């Protein structure tokens, strides 16, 4: 994801639109891939956000931006990188998650060039609380 900054810049434009100081973090398979070397690969990016009306409101604000690398096909939301690859992007509101990871950051504090991964501890808590036993096996729990 060589042009991650471009995608993050588009997502950051949503920051402050609801006046709550939105928090964001990369959760799910991409975070698991970062911390569990030799583990499974992933083909999507999952964000968690404190925007209550996400993902609908986020998509409505980000999709019309000029030159946005984000697009929607049917009900799926994608990030189109410079290599013309489509990366499925899921935006999950906090109310659909078991908890808000403590390592999630406010969008306006994420420096250019960095990926806001949740911490390994938050990832462990998130995946160990899932009902599917194969998630816990993947983490060795």
Which H or E run contains 11? helix 4-12
What letter does residue 118 receive in the DSSP assignment? P
Q: Which parts of 40-119 fold into alpha helices (H)?
A: 56-62
pLDDT, position 77? 87
* Domain regions of the chain by residue span: 4-138
| Coil/strand/helix, residue 8 | helix
Q: How far is CA 76 from CA 13, 55, 81, 140, in A?
A: 20, 11, 16, 31
What letter does residue 55 receive in the DSSP assignment? T
Per-residue pLDDT for the chain (141 aa), expressed as one digit of tens each?
Answer: 445 555 565 566 555 455 456 767 777 777 777 777 776 667 777 888 888 888 888 888 888 888 777 889 888 888 887 778 888 888 888 888 777 888 888 777 777 777 788 888 888 777 777 677 766 666 555
């Amino acid at each position: 994801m060589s042009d991650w900054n471009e995608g993050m810049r588009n997502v950051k434009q949503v920051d402050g639109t609801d006046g709550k100081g939105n928090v964001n973090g990369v959760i799910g398979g991409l975070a698991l891939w970062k911390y569990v070397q030799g583990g499974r690969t992933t083909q999507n990016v999952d964000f968690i956000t404190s925007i209550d009306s996400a993902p609908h409101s986020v998509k409505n604000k980000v999709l019309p931006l000029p030159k946005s690398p984000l697009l929607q096909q049917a009900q799926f939301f994608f990030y189109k990188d410079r290599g013309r690859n489509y990366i499925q992007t899921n935006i999950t509101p906090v109310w659909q998650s078991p908890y808000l990871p403590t390592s999630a950051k406010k969008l306006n504090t994420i420096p250019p060039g960095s990926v806001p991964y949740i911490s390994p501890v938050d990832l462990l808590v998130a995946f160990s609380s899932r009902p599917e036993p194969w998630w816990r096996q993947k983490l060795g729990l």
